Amino acid sequence: MVQMKDRLILSDEEWRERLTEEEYRVLRRHGTEAPGVGCFLGTSEPGTYTCAGCGAPLFRSGEKFESGTGWPSFTEPVEPDAVAEYSDRSFGMVRTEVRCARCDGHLGHVFPDGPPPTGLRYCINSVAMKHLPRGEPIVLVESGRPVKE
């Protein structure tokens, strides 16, 4: 559970310093990577997918499935409050946007056409996540520590 005191709130300048150009475009400007190009498409290594902006755990590898959409898809987040959902009415559509609950970074969208048991498809940009192999500790990014690679 992300407590308000655990939130990571940074200025736009600080985000630009921490993130790569593509991470910044997706996470902070609500961009979308092109379908079929994300590094986590078709992968199945055990572990946890964390937010590329702040390190918060988002999804378990066991919840990942191949949706055929061109983006990594998950049936549910690691915890119900790991992500926040917002109404997105951009591009003449009504969708549900998914953001990291800790840093408010744009991750992707959730749709009601996933497999059982949830029936949900969290369609997430690869660039918005990092993968931690099973057994590696989750390390949250704190303010003052740049993460750009």
Any idea where the domains of the chain sit in the sequence?
A: 4-133
| Set 51, 54, 100, 123: catalytic member | 123
pLDDT tens figures, 39-90: 999 899 999 999 999 999 999 999 999 999 999 999 999 999 999 999 988 8
Q: Which residue's entry shows tokens 């940074």?
A: 10
Residues in CB range of 90: below 8 A, 6 or more apart = 30
Say if pTM beats, i.e. exceeds, 0.85.
Answer: yes
Per-residue pLDDT, 144: 58
In whole angstroms, how large is the CA radius of gyration of the chain?
14
| CATH fold group of domain 4-133 | 2.170.150
Catalytic-residue membership of 54: no
Residue 141 has a pLDDT of 82
Can you give the pLDDT at residue 4? Answer: 47
Local confidence band at 145 (pLDDT 50, 70, 90 cut-offs): low
DSSP letters spanning 31-71? --PPTT--TTTT---SEEEEETTT--EEEEGGGEE--SSSS
Summarised one tens digit per residue, pLDDT across range 98-132 is: 999 999 999 999 999 999 999 999 999 999 999 99
Residue 20 tokens, joined = 């790569």
